[in-house]
C-alpha cells in the first residue's frame, strides 16, 4: 500500500473513512451532512471512503441518482474501495434468498469501482460452520463474477463471533476471493481475545480489511451499546493495536486500513474535528507499529 504526505511531515498509509461513524443515527444522513463528511475526509488526508448500501438508499430517497451519488466522491478525488455490507447468508438461506439480499450491494460495488464487500452475520447463536460456509461460498461466487472479493466481519455477539470461526468459514467455503475483516475492537471484545495463533495461520492476502479502533479497559454491560457509542481512539485503550499491526506487517499484509471509531463523545466535537482526531490517532499507532 502506497504512502502519501499528510501535510505534517509524516508519510502514512492511505486511510479509508467510515461515514457511519460521523452521524448520530446510522440510518439517517441529510445530503448536506454527507457532503460535510466527505469534505472532512479530504481535509484530513483520507484517500478513500467506505460506501454503505444504506447511504445510497438515503441519497435516492433525497432524489439523487446512483450516478450523482457516486459523483460526490469522484469530484473530491476520493476512492470507494470498500462497500458495507451484505447479510442474510449464514443461517441456511437458499441461493435465491441470498441473491436477493446481496446482488444490489454487489452491483453498487461494481459501479463504485470497489475492491471488496463486507459480509456480516449478525444473527444471534453460533451458526454451524458448514452451513455458514455454504452461504458464504454463494456470496463469493456471485462476487467473483463481478471481480470482487468478499470479507467476513466477525462480531462477538453474532453467529460468527471471533476470528477463528470466521477463518474456519472462509476455509470451508473454499473460495479464493473470500477473506476477512479484522476489527480491532471486535478482536479485543471477543471471547478468544488476542488470538495471535489464528492470525498467524491466516495467509496475509486473506486479511482484506483492518478496521482500527480501541476498547476501554472495562467492557460495557451491553456490547451493542458500546460498539455503537463507546469505542476509543486508536492507542487510547487495551486492544493492543500496534501488536496486531506488527504481526501483519511482518508478513507483508496489505489490507485496506479503515479506522472505525464509534464514539458519542468524539461526535459531539463536530464532524471535522472527529475525523481529524481519528486520522491522527490512527497514523500515530501505524507509525508505532512501523507501518510504512
Distance of CA 236 to the CA centre of its chain: 20
CA distances from 199 to 25, 56, 204 (A): 33, 34, 9
Mean pLDDT, rounded, for 242-247: 97
CA distance 246 to 262: 24
* pLDDT tens figures, 66-94: 999 999 999 999 999 999 999 999 999 99
Domain 3-288 has CATH 3.20.20.150: yes
User: Is residue 139's pLDDT more than 80?
Assistant: yes
Grid cell at residue 11: 508519510
Secondary structure (DSSP) of 254-271? --EE-----BHHHHTT-H
Mean pLDDT, rounded, for 223-248: 97
Residues above pLDDT 90, as percent of the chain: 90
Give kind and range of the element (H or E) at residue 231. none
Residue 192 pLDDT level (bands cut at 50, 70, 90): confident
Residue 292 pLDDT level (bands cut at 50, 70, 90): confident
Mean pLDDT, rounded, for 133-139: 97
Query: By mean pLDDT, which of 3-12, 27-36, 109-118, 213-222 is the weakest?
Result: 3-12
Grid cell at residue 185: 475492537
* pLDDT tens figures, 205-224: 999 999 999 999 999 999 99
Q: What is the pLDDT of residue 8?
A: 38
What does pTM read for this prediction?
0.94
CA distance 126 to 141: 23
User: Is residue 158's pLDDT more than 50?
Assistant: yes
* pLDDT tens figures, 116-134: 999 998 776 667 899 999 9
Average pLDDT of the chain, as a whole number: 93
Amino acid at each position: 500500500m502506497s504512502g502519501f504526505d499528510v501535510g505534517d511531515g509524516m508519510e502514512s498509509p492511505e486511510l479509508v473513512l467510515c461515514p457511519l461513524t460521523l452521524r448520530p443515527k446510522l440510518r439517517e444522513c441529510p445530503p448536506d451532512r454527507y457532503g460535510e463528511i466527505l469534505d472532512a475526509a479530504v481535509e484530513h488526508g483520507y484517500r478513500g471512503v467506505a460506501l454503505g448500501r444504506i447511504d445510497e438508499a438515503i441519497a435516492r430517497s433525497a432524489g439523487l441518482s446512483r450516478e450523482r451519488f457516486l459523483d460526490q466522491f469522484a469530484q473530491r478525488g476520493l476512492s470507494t474501495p470498500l462497500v458495507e455490507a451484505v447479510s442474510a447468508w449464514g443461517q441456511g438461506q437458499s441461493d435465491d434468498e441470498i441473491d436477493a439480499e446481496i446482488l444490489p450491494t454487489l452491483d453498487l460495488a461494481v459501479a463504485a469501482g470497489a475492491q471488496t464487500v463486507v459480509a456480516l452475520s449478525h444473527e444471534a447463536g453460533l451458526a454451524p460452520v458448514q452451513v455458514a460456509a455454504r452461504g458464504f461460498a454463494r456470496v463469493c461466487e456471485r462476487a467473483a463474477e463481478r471481480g470482487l472479493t468478499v470479507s467476513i466481519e466477525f462480531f462477538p455477539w453474532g453467529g460468527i463471533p471471533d476470528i477463528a470461526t470466521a477463518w474456519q468459514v472462509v476455509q470451508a467455503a473454499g473460495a479464493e476471493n473470500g477473506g476477512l475483516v479484522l476489527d480491532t475492537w471486535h478482536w479485543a471484545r471477543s471471547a478468544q481475545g488476542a488470538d495471535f495463533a489464528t492470525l498467524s495461520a491466516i495467509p496475509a492476502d486473506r486479511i482484506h480489511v483492518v478496521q482500527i479502533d480501541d476498547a476501554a479497559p472495562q467492557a460495557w454491560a451491553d456490547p451493542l451499546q458500546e460498539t455503537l457509542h463507546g469505542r476509543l481512539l486508536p492507542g487510547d485503550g487495551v486492544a493492543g493495536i500496534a501488536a496486531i499491526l506488527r504481526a501483519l506487517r511482518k508478513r507483508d499484509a496489505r489490507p485496506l486500513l479503515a479506522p472505525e471509531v464509534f464514539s458519542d463523545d468524539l461526535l459531539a466535537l463536530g464532524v471535522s474535528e472527529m475525523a481529524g482526531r481519528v486520522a491522527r490517532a490512527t497514523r500515530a499507532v501505524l507509525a508505532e507499529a512501523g507501518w510504512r
